[in-house]
């Protein structure tokens, strides 16, 4: 079991990101369960969404308490939300930001337990390729490159399943660009799928 | 509206300078009219949708009104009509199984939901492509004006294809004559006793369901009484020519609740109209286009004194102040609706706005 | 073949494949996604002939369904929580008239205090309204139960409520198999109503019934539900043969045959329970779970048989009978008859509080060894309760509990912060 928590603000496509992640995992032959944080969501308010990925059917319905990876769509959340909560040892924190973890002031926060802190300029890449600063899909491209939990072709198929026309094209380009960007700039230390699975089945 | 629909007997005779008025309980002479002008009720083969044997009180205006209205609707629908009925007198007295009086498919669900049940029937018929079958919803004033108003409003605004008929006897008669929002001021009910200086039901309360219906701008709204059979049947026939939500508000005297003689039901209904207390009108697409003129105006006391629910206004020195206020209310109706020959309804007044030209200009008016 | 799809959309698709003729609903979280999806299908012409009626209240939703069903149309609605209670009068009416309406309940708590999250208070509050009540343990089962529901409803001329946990199930996106149109058509024949408003054969429906016959009419409603105890497993089996998977039924056991402790539960907690039971079995603890899938009619004999080997029983309740304890507990005790099996009630997951393995494990362990009381509240913050009680004692006008408790807890953000 590989579990992911995605943070962002209402309107940044956080729930869509969890859905796309599950679609890509499903398309790649895995079982996946995505779900939003439940509640009345409002534009701009902090929201979270979740995704479990496994090679067997997923029966668990409890919240994800110890994610293998945390994806953050909005860097302004880093000091407002407990991003690292439950993030397991050697887990990945992937943040949409053109700055570094040091510049964001979170390098020390997540330093323990061999956790990997990775920034990716997802907003900028989305703006360039999609025309809108919605970082969610670019983040998934980076996530694919960093973890290998999903691969880029599966992500692209998921994008095509969820979007149409220019939105599909732009998102695919943003995902591919983030994927390439991360391969060049990775700080390394991605949690391999085989070693993940603290949640049990 | 087709030209044929406008050819009520009154209209045709008006053209000839001759009018028939119904007096007493007898429908104006079937024999004096051409075949097509005769009432449904005068036909030997009338449908009798609400047939004999029901348990209504003597002189029940509602039983009379329901049979008139539904028979006319049945004729207009070629016999293909379904009725949804709210809980109330009409429901209780008509369906003491195994002796149902209903000669058409009829369902009673709950007190407040008859308009929604009717909507559901209409939706089912539409889905099944059975638009030859028409739908009537019906209830008393409590089930319509009070507890059922939300369902009724929803049915109106969704433009569901239902004719809804309210049989207004101005109180909750089925439960023992308690006040409803249709109870007129001054009337005694079990919950508006004229005690402690109260005049009976208080002034300044209540609501007009026909005007509420009008505000929905539905295709057809009309009021009628059981005193004018030709008028009632003609309105039902016109309503049935239209698709969409239609509302008919029918005044039906209740001898039990009003304390009136069973033999005077028709007379009292006529006096309600002739005094101006109950304006009889017809509106198409949100605008009133016709009113039944007062033929021989009577003071409200002529109407009031025949009903024991108003007896306290006349006993022990009486309540002239209350009678005066009721007369003022009737006079206001006469002006608002243009009920006298030669007068017209006040433009715009019915929904609370003054006539054009009388509007205050609020822009900048509040500058200090 | 499975699709990765949001459960609400899958439910809507399953309902659409049942060819409903009249849909009516009023929006309430967390039922909305189901109705939105159905509305899109009707507007796009993908679901036809079908009328979608956007009503002004849940009361009207159920009433429109009553009218439509009585006029011979296959009718469907969906609601939750306050909406279910708002239609309470109409629920009893629909059942009393024997109209085979199918309704989804996206289970949600009841206020006050207002709460939009999952528990079973809503459906259990109307458990005696005369609807058959099915509780889905997961989304695949929820899909299959809807198809089953239309068949059961029309075969018995009784309305059916399919209960599925709000958010936890309705909002999950996961691989789900949708029965094909052909599969559904071969399982669900066109609606042949037992009673219909038809101008060709006028019928009076909804007459008053007095003391001379009311008992018999009610007894027949009870009898009809008893018939459902035979019909539901038979129809579930028939559907299973078409889909190749288990499709609902009265109940199902998970590792119960040799279990000393059996946990009885309804709804989505069963998945988490199964994972926990596997873990605990690995540690040598003899635990199993019994899923109640049909709560009305209550499968008394089947529950008694399924619990026959249990040394101890834990009833996991996602609702509370205030002033009494558990709702499901009463039925389980009734099923046990004279048997004196120790029985524990655990109230859990109220108003969306997650039910986790971490919290359940010590409770199950305590129950297995007899160390659990008769009534236990999972994850209850006793410290908060004690402070609030102390505060109330200190003031003549302490104000409401809800706001005071929230002040005590302080600001909590959405999700895990």
pLDDT digit string (tens) for B208-238? 999 999 999 999 999 999 999 889 999 999 9
Q: How confident is the model at residue B355 (pLDDT cuts 50, 70, 90)?
A: low
Chain C residues whose CB is inside 8 A of the A23 CB are 4, 173
Residue C415 has what pLDDT?
Answer: 41
**Averaged over B308-323, what is the pLDDT?**
94
Please calculate the CA angle C116-C122-C128 and round it to the nearest 5 degrees. 175
The percent of residues above 70 in pLDDT, for chain C, comes to 98
Residue A193 has what pLDDT?
Answer: 43
In this chain, the answer to whether the domains covering C2-243 and C251-377 adopt an identical fold is yes
Classify C10 in phi/psi space as left (phi over 0), alpha (psi -120 to 50) or beta.
alpha
- Of A89, A87, A68, give the one whose Cα is nearest residue A149: A68
Among the listed ranges B1-5, B54-58, B150-154, B322-326, which one has the minimum average pLDDT value? B1-5
Residues in Cβ contact with C23 at an 8 Å cutoff, skipping those fewer than 6 apart: C35, C38, C39, C42, C50, C51, C52, C53, C75, C76, C77
The percent of residues above 90 in pLDDT, for chain B, comes to 75
**Averaged over C178-199, what is the pLDDT?**
97
Residue A111 has what pLDDT?
Answer: 67
Which stretch of DSSP H or E encloses residue C103?
strand C102-107
B89/C contact by beta carbon, under 8 A: no
What residue in B sits closest to C204 (Cα-Cα)?
B106
Residue B298 · residue B248 · CB < 8 Å: no
**B28 pLDDT higher than 90:** no
The backbone torsions φ and ψ at residue C295, rounded to the nearest 5 degrees and listed phi first, read -95, -30
- Of A64, A62, A49, give the one whose Cα is nearest residue A6: A49
Please calculate the CA angle B329-B334-B339 and round it to the nearest 5 degrees. 150
Interface test with C, best of B48, B127, B131 (most C CBs within 10 A): B127
**Averaged over B53-65, what is the pLDDT?**
95
Could you write out the DSSP letters of every residue in C161-218?
EEEEETTTTTT-EEEEEPPPHHHHHHHSPPP--SS--BTTB--EES----TTTHHHHH
Residue B143 · residue B109 · CB < 8 Å: no
Residue B10 has what pLDDT?
Answer: 55
**pLDDT 10s digits, B68-82:** 999 999 999 999 999
List the structure tokens of B344: 């017209």
Residue C204 has what pLDDT?
Answer: 95
Residue C266 has what pLDDT?
Answer: 98
Angstrom CA distances, C252 to C288, C305, C344, stand at 11, 12, 20
Classify C77 in phi/psi space as left (phi over 0), alpha (psi -120 to 50) or beta.
beta
Residue A106 has what pLDDT?
Answer: 85
Helix (H, G, I), strand (E, B) or coil at B221: strand
Chain C residues whose CB is inside 8 A of the A80 CB are 413
Burial zone of C220 (CB within 10 Å; 0-12 exposed, 13-18 middle, 19+ buried) = exposed
Comparison of pLDDT for C417 and B196, the residue scoring more:
B196
Angstrom CA distances, B367 to B358, B359, B363, B364, stand at 21, 18, 9, 6
Give residue for tokens 């004033």.
B141
Question: Are residues B105 and C202, on separate chains, in Cβ contact within 8 Å?
Answer: yes
Spell out, as residue ranges, where chain A has pLDDT lower than 70.
40-41, 110-111, 188-201
Tallying the residues shown for chain C, one arrives at: 417
Q: Number of A to C CB contacts under 8 A, please give it.
A: 104
List the structure tokens of C317: 């309740």
Q: Where are the alpha helices (DSSP H) in A7-162?
A: 14-27, 101-104, 122-129, 136-147, 152-162
| CATH number given to C2-243 | 3.40.50.970
**B364 pLDDT higher than 60:** no
Domains identified in chain B and CATH numbers: 31-351 (3.40.50.970)
**B354 pLDDT higher than 60:** no
* CA of A177 vs chain C CAs: smallest distance (Å): 26
Cα(C132)–Cα(C294) distance, integer angstroms: 8
Pick the CATH number of C251-377 from 3.30.70.360, 3.40.50.920, 3.90.180.10, 3.40.1190.10: 3.40.50.920
Residue B31 has what pLDDT?
Answer: 67
Q: Number of B to C CB contacts under 8 A, please give it.
A: 158
Q: What is the ipTM of this complex?
A: 0.95
Residue C414 has what pLDDT?
Answer: 39
Residue B346 · residue B353 · CB < 8 Å: no
Residues in Cβ contact with C289 at an 8 Å cutoff, skipping those fewer than 6 apart: C253, C254, C255, C256, C262, C263, C264, C265, C270, C273, C274, C277
Residue C417 has what pLDDT?
Answer: 33
Residue B356 has what pLDDT?
Answer: 52
Residue A60 has what pLDDT?
Answer: 97
Chain B residues whose CB is inside 8 A of the C71 CB are 82, 120-121, 124-125, 128
Domains of chain C: which residue ranges?
2-243, 251-377
Cα(C184)–Cα(B84) distance, integer angstroms: 33
**C297 pLDDT higher than 50:** yes
Residue C360 · residue C273 · CB < 8 Å: yes
Q: How confident is the model at residue C20 (pLDDT cuts 50, 70, 90)?
A: very high
Residue C101 · residue B154 · CB < 8 Å: no
Question: Are residues C275 and A59, on separate chains, in Cβ contact within 8 Å?
Answer: yes
Residues in Cβ contact with C359 at an 8 Å cutoff, skipping those fewer than 6 apart: C348, C378, C379
Q: Average pLDDT of chain B? A: 89
* CA of B7 vs chain C CAs: smallest distance (Å): 29
Residue B220 · residue B283 · CB < 8 Å: yes
**Averaged over C104-121, what is the pLDDT?**
97
Neighbours of C356 (CB within 10 A): 19
**Averaged over B330-340, what is the pLDDT?**
95
Chain A residues whose CB is inside 8 A of the C168 CB are 35, 38, 61
**Averaged over C136-158, what is the pLDDT?**
98
Domains of chain A: which residue ranges?
2-186
Q: Chains contacting B with at least 3 CB pairs below 8 Å?
A: C
Residue C127 · residue C105 · CB < 8 Å: no
Q: How confident is the model at residue B324 (pLDDT cuts 50, 70, 90)?
A: very high
Give residue for tokens 């049979």.
B67
Q: Which of residues 96-135 of C touch B (CB under 8 A)?
A: 97
Comparison of pLDDT for A187 and C258, the residue scoring more:
C258
| CATH number given to A2-186 | 3.40.920.10
Q: How confident is the model at residue C125 (pLDDT cuts 50, 70, 90)?
A: very high
Among the listed ranges B197-206, B343-352, C403-412, which one has the minimum average pLDDT value? B343-352
Residue B353 has what pLDDT?
Answer: 47
């Amino acid at each position: 079991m590989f579990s992911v928590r995605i943070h962002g603000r209402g309107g940044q496509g956080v729930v869509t990101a969890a859905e796309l992640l599950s679609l890509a995992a499903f398309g790649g032959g895995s079982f996946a369960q995505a779900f939003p944080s439940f509640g009345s969501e409002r534009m701009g308010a902090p929201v979270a969404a979740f995704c479990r990925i496994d090679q067997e059917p997923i029966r668990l319905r409890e919240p994800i308490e110890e994610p293998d990876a945390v994806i953050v769509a909005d860097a302004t959340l880093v000091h407002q939300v407990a991003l690292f909560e439950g993030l397991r040892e050697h887990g990945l924190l992937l943040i949409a930001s053109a700055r570094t973890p040091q510049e964001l002031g979170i390098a020390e926060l997540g330093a323990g337990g061999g956790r990997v802190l990775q920034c990716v300029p997802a907003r900028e890449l989305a703006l360039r390729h999609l025309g809108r600063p919605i970082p969610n899909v670019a983040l998934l491209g980076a996530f694919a490159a960093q973890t290998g939990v999903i691969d880029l072709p599966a992500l692209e198929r998921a994008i095509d399943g969820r979007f149409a026309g220019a939105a599909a094209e732009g998102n695919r380009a943003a995902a591919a660009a983030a994927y390439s960007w991360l391969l060049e700039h990775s700080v390394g230390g991605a949690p391999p799928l085989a070693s993940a699975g603290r949640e049990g089945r | 509206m087709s030209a044929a629909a406008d050819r009520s007997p009154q209209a045709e005779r008006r053209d000839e300078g001759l009018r028939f008025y119904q007096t007493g309980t007898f429908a104006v002479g079937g024999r004096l009219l051409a075949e097509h002008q005769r009432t449904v009720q005068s036909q030997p083969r009338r449908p009798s949708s609400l047939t004999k044997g029901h348990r209504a009180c003597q002189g029940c205006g509602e039983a009379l009104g329901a049979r008139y209205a539904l028979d006319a609707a049945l004729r207009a629908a070629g016999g293909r009509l379904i009725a949804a009925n709210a809980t109330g007198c009409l429901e209780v007295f008509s369906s003491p199984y195994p002796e149902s009086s209903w000669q058409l498919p009829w369902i009673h669900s709950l007190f407040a939901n008859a308009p929604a049940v009717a909507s559901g029937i209409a939706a089912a018929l539409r889905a099944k492509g059975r638009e030859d079958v028409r739908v009537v919803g019906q209830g008393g004033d409590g089930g319509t004006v009070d507890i059922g108003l939300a369902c009724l409003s929803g049915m109106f605004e969704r433009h569901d294809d239902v004719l809804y008929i309210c049989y207004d006897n101005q109180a909750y008669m089925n439960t023992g004559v308690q006040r409803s929002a249709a109870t007129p001021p001054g009337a005694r009910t079990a919950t508006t006793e004229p005690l402690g200086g109260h005049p009976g039901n208080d002034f300044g309360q209540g609501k007009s369901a026909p005007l509420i219906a009008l505000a929905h701008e539905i295709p057809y709204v009309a009021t009628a009484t059981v005193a004018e059979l030709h008028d009632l049947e003609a309105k039902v026939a016109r309503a049935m020519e239209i698709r969409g939500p239609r509302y008919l508000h029918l005044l039906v005297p209740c001898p039990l609740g009003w304390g009136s003689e069973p033999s005077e039901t028709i007379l009292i209904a006529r006096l309600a109209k002739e005094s101006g207390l109950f304006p009889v009108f017809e509106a198409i697409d949100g605008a009133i286009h016709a009113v039944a003129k007062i033929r021989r105006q009577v003071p409200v006391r002529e109407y009031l004194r025949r009903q024991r629910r108003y007896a306290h206004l006349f006993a022990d020195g009486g309540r002239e102040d209350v009678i005066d206020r009721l007369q003022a209310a009737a006079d206001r109706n006469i002006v608002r609706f243009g009920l006298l020959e030669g007068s017209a309804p006040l433009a715009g007044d019915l929904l609370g706005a003054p006539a054009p030209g009388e509007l205050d200009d609020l822009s900048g008016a509040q500058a200090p | 073949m499975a699709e990765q799809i949001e459960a609400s959309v899958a439910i809507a698709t399953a309902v659409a494949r049942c060819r409903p003729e009249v849909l009516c609903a009023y929006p309430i979280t967390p039922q909305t996604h189901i109705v939105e999806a159905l509305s899109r299908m009707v507007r796009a012409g993908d679901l036809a002939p079908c009328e979608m009626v956007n009503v002004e209240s849940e009361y009207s939703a159920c009433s429109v369904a009553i009218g439509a069903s009585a006029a011979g149309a296959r009718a469907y609605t969906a609601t939750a929580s306050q909406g279910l209670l708002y239609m309470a009068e109409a629920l009893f009416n629909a059942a009393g008239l024997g109209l085979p309406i199918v309704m989804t309940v996206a289970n949600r708590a009841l206020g006050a205090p207002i709460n939009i999250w999952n528990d079973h208070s809503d459906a259990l509050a109307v458990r005696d309204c005369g609807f058959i009540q099915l509780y889905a343990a997961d989304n695949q089962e929820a899909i299959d139960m809807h198809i089953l529901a239309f068949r059961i409803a029309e075969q018995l001329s009784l309305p059916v409520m399919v209960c599925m946990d709000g958010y936890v199930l309705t909002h999950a996106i996961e691989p789900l198999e949708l029965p094909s149109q052909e599969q559904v058509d071969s399982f669900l024949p066109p609606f042949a109503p037992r009673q219909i408003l038809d101008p060709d054969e006028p019928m009076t429906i909804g007459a008053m019934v007095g003391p001379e016959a009311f008992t018999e009419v009610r007894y027949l409603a009870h009898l009809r539900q008893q018939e459902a105890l035979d019909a539901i497993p038979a129809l579930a089996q028939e559907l299973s043969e078409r889909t190749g998977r288990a499709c609902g039924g009265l109940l199902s056991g998970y590792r119960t045959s040799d279990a000393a402790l059996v946990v009885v539960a309804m709804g989505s907690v069963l998945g988490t329970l199964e994972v926990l039971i596997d873990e605990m079995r690995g540690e040598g603890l003899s635990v199993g779970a019994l899923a109640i899938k049909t709560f009305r009619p209550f499968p008394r004999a089947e529950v008694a048989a399924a619990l026959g080997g249990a040394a101890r029983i834990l009833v996991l309740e996602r609702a509370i009978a205030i002033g009494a304890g558990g709702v499901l507990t009463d039925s389980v005790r009734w099923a046990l008859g004279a048997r004196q099996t120790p029985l524990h009630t655990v109230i859990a997951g109220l108003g969306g509080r997650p039910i986790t393995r971490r919290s359940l494990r010590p409770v199950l362990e305590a129950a297995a060894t007899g160390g659990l009381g008769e009534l236990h509240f999972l994850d209850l913050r006793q410290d908060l309760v004690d402070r609030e009680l102390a505060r109330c004692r200190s003031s003549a006008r302490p104000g409401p509990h809800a706001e005071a408790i929230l002040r005590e807890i302080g600001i909590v953000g959405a999700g895990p912060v």
